[in-house]
Structure formats: C-alpha cells, structure tokens
Structure 1
C-alpha cells in the first residue's frame, strides 16, 4: 500500500511551520510583513516525471510579541506547491505513490540579520524536526547524499529511509530533502515515495533540478 497525500504532506507542513514561529525580538509600532515568492517545478519536468500539480497555497503565520513592554505584530506568508503521482496498481486501483512538495519561506531580515530559523537547519536537522512533529514517520536513517545544481546554486540532497504506518500496515519509504536560498526566500523541497517504487529517485532529483523561483505568470 502506498502512502497517501494526507499522511505524507504532513512531512512538508511540519517543516513549513518550523520556519515561522521563532521571530520574537522585533520592536516598533506597525506590523512587519514578509511574503515569500511562490516556487514550483517547471511544468515539462513535472509531466515527464509523472507528477500532477495540486496548485500553490499560502500559509500565513501571524504572531504578536512583547518586547521591552511593547507589542509588535509580525506576519510571515509562506508558499507551498504540492505534486502527487498516481499509478494503477491492479486490485488497489489508481493509488497515489509519490508526493513532492516545494516550500518557499521568507528569510525575514531585519537590520541585516536573518531571523528565519531554517537558515541554520541542515537536512539532518530538518528530518529530525519532521520526525518529532509527525508521529507516523519512524525508523529514519540517512542513506546517502549528493550535490545537485538548482537555479545556479549547488545544494545538497540528502536521502533518508523510514517507515510509516497507514491503515494498520507498515510502508517503507524514502524521503529526499534539500534546502537553498534564492533572493529573499529559502526554498525547501521534499520528495517521498515507497521504497519499492523502482526508479523514482531520479524523478525526484529531476524535479528538484527544475525548481523555478519566482514562478513566472
């Protein structure tokens, strides 16, 4: 049985929420707003890999902090673009067998200082956070890493193995994670698929290489 969309997208959302909750020492009278530019995979690359876009959605995080007796509101808007891959699996019918997610999150720079905590997160730290927040992912182990070029930037893709439980059955999965900065935003890409799906690693890597940011209208 393959992981479904709800279970695997939790992996991406857990990381997304991690990037927005630690902005706590800004001062001033008016709210500071930061909005990431959307990121997505080039249509031709997604189609070639067999993935269909679920569109892009914004997730706004609104926080009020008290610093030195003053309150300050900070609004950070992240963008999440999701893709799924479905295949016909005999008696199971058409089943989702892969999830790919691209998250763009603002660096949040004030006085030359980057406040977004994802700036300091390694791929290993990202996957640890995911495991802490998403109880369905267990037995996570690093398998390998390699460098690829995305938007002219060399970035490291780390491959992890893990297990998730769906409808009472254990499913072995691979999770690929990479992160880099482009302009004022950090870009995070996650690909998750069953280990038994032969050849899917190259599809995930090809989609990572084809990330565009910002997305052209």
Structure 2
C-alpha cells in the first residue's frame, strides 16, 4: 500500500472515531433527539388535543475506553389527551397518548441508552406504573403495525388505576422502535370501558419525526 493510501486510511479512521476521541480527551458530549409529534390531521380525526411538547435534558456519566465523562442528553416528550366522560365512574377522565424520542447514545460503538434493552412490558413498568397509582398490570396481546416505515410490535395490557379512592380498569398500549438514530417510545392509556384502539392506530399513523 503506498503512502497516499495509508494516509487516506488513517484519515478515514480519525473521522470515524472523532466523537470517541473528543470523549477521551475530556470534551463534554452533547446528544439530542429529534422531536417526535402527532400531525394535526390525526389529532382532528381522533379528538385528541396537545397537552404539552417539551424537551427534557439529563446529564449522565458514562465510561468508555477507560475514561469517565459527562454526557448531556436531550429527549423530547409530546403528550396528547382526550377528555371523556364515563357514566358511573368519572366525568372528564382523560385518555392519554404519549410519544417520547430519545437519542441512541453511542460511544465506541456501544449503545448507552437504557431503552435499547427495554421491551414493551418494561416500558409500561418504567413509564406508567412508576406513577404509583397503576397496578396489577396484565398482558393481553400484541399486533405488528408499521409506523414511520418501521414494523413494530404494539403490546396491549390491562391494569387498575386508583384515583381519589376509586378504582378504574384501564387499557395500556405500548411500543418502541428506532427511527433516524432515535428511539421512539409510544404509550397510550385509556379507560377499559372505552374502545380507543382505532384512535390509537390513527395517532400511530400520524406520528412525525424529523424531516
């Protein structure tokens, strides 16, 4: 191999590992997800309204190549709600649809985003039951759907939600997939006595991410 080819190979290696090099040399790594939201057309068809779309920043310390560095991660959360009334239970019970986008943090080809290891049950355990008022989660089934051109498994669960001394049976749907370098997490929670499955399908089809 002549010297020009050797130099070209070394340059390519430096370009590919520049992020890792900065990490080792002490630079603070900043990684941001691209916002994921639901389009207006899907919202108007389903009766859901935007409750909030916000970025959430977190700082974590990672270790790679024998070095420890702080990484600043920016995630996005978009939450949509539909106000419904159920006779005999509560007026104004909210059906909720949440989309989370989180960057796939990679250092030296290793993914550090914990979402990479979560299945749909884990998502419900971490994101939903973490509120403390939802318990007795049971798996119902799942189906494969296509979202943003990606085939993903949407799992359905039932659970019991406690609020103001009353218990309400709820349905939870959850999925996770990767799109353009981000993990996209989708969670839907609504009273079991309502059938929001068609609305959830429409909202899933209406997800927008980047571009």
TM-score (norm 2): 0.81
Distance in 2 between residues matched to 1:161 and 1:175, nearest whole Å:
6
How many Å apart are 1:132 and its aligned residue? 5.8
Quick check: 1:172 aligned with 2:166?
Answer: no
Match of 2:132 among 131, 135, 141: 135
SS across alignment from 1:207? helix
Distance in 2 between residues matched to 1:92 and 1:121, nearest whole Å:
34
How many Å apart are 1:98 and its aligned residue? 0.4
Quick check: 1:105 aligned with 2:130?
Answer: no
Q: Which residue number in structure 2 is paired with residue 119 of structure 1?
A: 116
Higher RCO (C-alpha under 8 Å, 6+ residues apart): 1
Alpha-carbon spacing, 1:127–1:89, altered in 2? closer, same or farther (3 Å): closer
Quick check: 1:156 aligned with 2:150?
Answer: no
Q: Which residue number in structure 2 is paired with residue 203 of structure 1?
A: 199
How many Å apart are 1:146 and its aligned residue? 0.2
How many Å apart are 1:185 and its aligned residue? 0.3
SS across alignment from 1:30? coil
Please say which structure displays the higher CA radius of gyration.
2
TM-score (norm 1): 0.79
Distance in 2 between residues matched to 1:122 and 1:212, nearest whole Å:
22
Tell me, which stretches of 5 or more residues in structure 2 are unaligned? 1-22
When the two chains are superposed, the root-mean-square deviation of aligned CA atoms in Å is 2.4
**Cα-to-partner distance string for 1:61-115 (whole Å, 9 max, x where unaligned):** 0134677996521100000001000135679996143000000000011222222
Match of 1:48 among 41, 45, 48: 45
Q: Quick check: 1:52–1:85 contact (8 Å CA) kept in 2? A: yes
Distance in 2 between residues matched to 1:46 and 1:119, nearest whole Å:
29
Counting matched residue pairs gives 189
How many Å apart are 1:129 and its aligned residue? 2.9
Quick check: 1:86 aligned with 2:83?
Answer: yes
Distance in 1 between residues matched to 2:66 and 2:105, nearest whole Å:
22
Quick check: 1:58 aligned with 2:55?
Answer: yes
SS across alignment from 1:174? strand
Distance in 1 between residues matched to 2:68 and 2:193, nearest whole Å:
52
